[in-house]
Amino acid sequence: MEVQRLIGIIGGSGIYNLLDVKESLKSETPFGVPSSDVEIGELMGRKVAFIPRHGKKHSIPPHMVNYRANIWAMKEAGVEEILGINAVGSLKENLKPGDVVVPDQYIDFTENRKLTFYDGPDVVHISSADPFCPVMSSELNNSSKKYGPTHMGGTYIVIEGPRFSTRAESKMFRQFADIIGMTLVPEISLANELGMCYGMIATVTDYDVWADTPVDAAGVMKTLKENEEKTENIVKDFIQKHTSERKCKCSERLKDARL
């Protein structure tokens, strides 16, 4: 009999509309309190864990999210794979508001975040050459294509926030990346450190300020709301068809990571 692994979702509160919650796990981790209790429930007949990244009332700004506590709490709950749901700005003309990107690389431009579980004396240097799980990414791409324009691959540049970029910064970032946001790092690298798979649905909400019209929070939320149903459909399709056999090598990231 095939064993189904527990999938963890980290994203917005809209996922609550999908999840039939059965259990709430209160977690006090070695790194503090997570954004919320880990909600365990069912989605498309599968067991799923969920944490709203910014808290249940969206009261935690991106630079204040306790990413270490969130990922640790997921791991303690038995999660082996993380599906991140992110809103991003576009740095390229062909990536339009409403499109979905399944990124395969990132550039860390954050400044003040706790980036690792290994602050010493146990020192670990994991490989981040290919940070996203290739199996999850392929499946997310296949699911997303059914519901609209989807771009497989791309580089996500992560800024500290909570402010948006200046025009000069945005023009610089365009030379190196495809999308821009505030929450991927250190979420992905912490999952990598614990040998967890990580895949992402990045929904484009706006053209960043290299374009004529400056980005603002109201515009971002408007596009997010318009695309909520599409995001939910992608998540449901992915969860329903996701393979239970772990064919990737994400769990081996700690191998040979110590000097």
> Active-site residue numbers?
206, 208
Helix%, strand%, coil% for the chain, nearest 5 = 30, 25, 45
Residue 15 main-chain phi, psi, to 5 deg: -65, -25
Q: What is the CA radius of gyration of the chain?
A: 17
Distance, CA of 101 to chain centre: 12
Q: Which of 242, 217, 63, 230 is nearest to 146 (CA)?
A: 230
